[in-house]
A and B are shown apart, each in its own frame.
Chain A
Amino acid sequence: MTTAVVSKSPRKRITSTKVKYALTVLAFLLPSAVPLVCFTFYPMAGALWTSLHKWNLLSDMQWVGLGNYAHLLQDPATLRAFGNTLYYIVGYLPLVYVGGLGLALGLNAAIPLRGFLRGMYFLPVVTSWIVVALVWRWLLNPSVGIVNQVIGLFGLDGPGWWTDPTWAMPSIILASAWKDLGFVMIILLAGLQTIPQELYEAARMDGAGWWSRLRHVTLPMLSPTTFFVVVISLINGFQVFDQVYAMTGGGPAGASSVVVQQVYDLTFRYSQAGMASALSWMLFLVILAVTIVQMIGQRKWVNYA
């Protein structure tokens, strides 16, 4: 094949191989690039455009500029949804981080059954949010749930959990922490395993005790992993929805409504697509801002050796 082309002209051969190479690149890339453009970038821009309009999904769009955003910033239901989302994050993050770190430290030590135990803690991670929500609704059932039965053994009255406005968010946080604990644990374990043993030997030589080694060796060396866990947890935390939808539906009386629940309700219950798009873009901007702030802030506390 090559000889036949060479006999024509060397320049033509170069172009034809170049074209062939470019076509191969395209053929390999397009199957993934086309869906990403069509179903991620294009709708992302579409959402921005829609957010500047009043639209009920059917009739013509009506330009309102930043009106939707201005409205949302003063809307009590939206502010409450953002507040509840923050409540979720503030409750959830310390729980999974401290729990995950404890487990990672415990399961990094030389103890029997280590692999099996890691597997046990990881199990909830592969379970769907809907199942997690259903199971915890049952565990935390106010009258016949096992948790309140156990609390009853001590002669106490358990709370109403997801049926009680005060306890709805804590119930969701508890179920979510149960599901994600193993995930955080595995990431932190991977981080722990990159810390050179010599550092511990040196600290021990210097007479550092267990607590001192944790504070002055483990935590600083683990800070990049911690940073990763915090960033991922915040991104996921702001997007919390499935478990809320299935556990409380945002109730009772909006006590656990979160931002994505609002987006969903605005779109499919109230047909306010413009408003919903504005809210989802606000959520995206908040996530972006928080992530950027952390990227900048990390210089202060993350230690890249």
Chain B
Amino acid sequence: MPNNVVNPAMALPSLPARPRTNSAKARHKVRPWQIILLILVILGACVMFFPFLWTLITSISPGAGLSATPKLFPDNPSWGAYELLFSQTKFPRAVANSLGLAIATTLLQLLTSSLAAYVFSRMPFPGRNAVFALYLATMMIPMQVLLVPLFVQMRDLGLVDSYLGVLLPGLSSAFGVFLLRQAMDSVPRELDEAARLDGAGHLRIFGQIVLPLVGPSLATLTVFSFMSSWNSFLWPLVILRSEELKTLPLALAGMQGQYTTQWDVMMAGSVISILPMLAIYLFAQKYVIQGVANTGIK
């Protein structure tokens, strides 16, 4: 380096002087740093994935946790823990409860959110932005603050320990309204104009033109609604009492008391809780990741 007087970085501009063609070719060649990076990232992914693998292995290792750590390759793998769980009425019931509540919540949120999003995208009225801001403000309010009054409200309505009590507070999703409005705003308005000339009202424009065109965002919202309901814990914990109504997360939390050292049973329960989300995630990975990514870009 001939002129490294002040700052080594300043001396480097002579380097890119090499012919452009060279670097273009080099792009196709695998460079050492890429291999090192790849190895690091793969190692990291293995570490991240290991807890899942270990959960599965433990669930098929009978007697896991009583005395010893299960082996990576169990000597006599068995589905015993799963059979035990499903031989009781409690556990299958909890799975069914969670499934039913998640499906109902998802459908209701899709309906309420898309209707509201349509208004915020297509039907101006005085004060609309203020109303939209109020919707968004609810995303800031933590569920925990509402715990006591919501519980009292449900008690006064006679809805403690009922499916409806679990369902009601989650009827609408401000996140869903926000997400779908963004999507509807990008549907060209010429399409509704054309439909309006044909005599279509708002309900038809909504149902036959706008809604079909925001399919990907509906998919994103479906995954998120289902996930948040399937995984929700605090509110069901507060509102549900009887064993027959308990959801899967509650059943899993309760198992800790019942099967203190039977880790194979607890891990089998965990596997069953993970599976539906895993399936949905594999099918809709694109929408899930897009949904998360979109929340970051305002």
Which residues from chain A sit less than 8 Å from chain B, CB to CB?
21-22, 24-25, 27-29, 31-33, 35-36, 38-44, 46-47, 50, 57, 103, 106-107, 109-113, 117-131, 134-139, 141, 144-146, 149, 178, 181-183, 186-191, 194, 204-209, 212, 225, 228-229, 235, 238-239, 241-242, 245-246, 259-260, 263-264, 267-268, 273, 276-277, 280-281, 283-284, 287-288, 291
Contacts and interface: CB of A to CB of B under 8 A. Distances in A.
A106 B112 contact: no
Interface of B: 9-13, 15-16, 34, 37-38, 40-42, 44-45, 48-49, 51-52, 54-55, 58, 65, 67-69, 111-113, 115-116, 118-119, 123, 125, 131, 134-135, 138, 140-153, 168-169, 171-174, 177, 201-203, 206, 227, 230-231, 233-234, 237-238, 249, 252-253, 256, 263, 266-267, 269-270, 273-274, 277-278, 280-281, 285, 288-289, 292-298
Contacts, number: 281
Given A32-B116, A107-B41, A228-B298, A138 B267 contact: yes
Given A187-B293, A284-B145, 20 more contacts: A29-B131, A31-B115, A32-B112, A32-B172, A32-B173, A35-B171, A36-B134, A36-B172, A36-B174, A40-B141, A106-B41, A121-B48, A127-B274, A128-B249, A139-B51, A187-B292, A207-B15, A225-B296, A228-B296, A287-B142
Contacts of A122: 281, 285, 288-289
A124 B293 contact: no
A52 B15 CA distance: 71
Contacts of A235: 140, 142
Contact of B37 (A47, A109, A188, A291): A109
Contacts of B295: 187
A128 B152 contact: no
A102 B12 CA distance: 26
Nearest to A232: B295
A22 B71 CA distance: 67
A269 B253 CA distance: 18
A21 B122 CA distance: 12
B274 A131 contact: yes
Given A144-B69, A191-B297, A207 B48 contact: no
Given A24-B202, A31-B112, A207 B10 contact: yes
B24 to A, nearest CB: 13
Q: Which of B134, B153, B274 lies at the interface centre, i.e. has the most chain A CB atoms within 10 A of its CB?
A: B274
- Which of A123, A137, A188 gathers most chain B CB within 10 Å? A123
A144 B253 contact: no
B13 A206 contact: yes
A21 B15 CA distance: 67
Given A36-B174, A144-B69, A287-B142, A138 B281 contact: no
Contact of A205 (B13, B115, B134, B201): B13
Contacts of A128: 230-231, 233, 249, 273, 277
Given A183-B292, A207-B9, A241-B234, A277 B52 contact: no
B54 A139 contact: yes
A263 B145 CA distance: 9
Contacts of A194: 297
A192 B135 CA distance: 29
Contacts of A50: 148-149, 152
Contacts of B58: 138
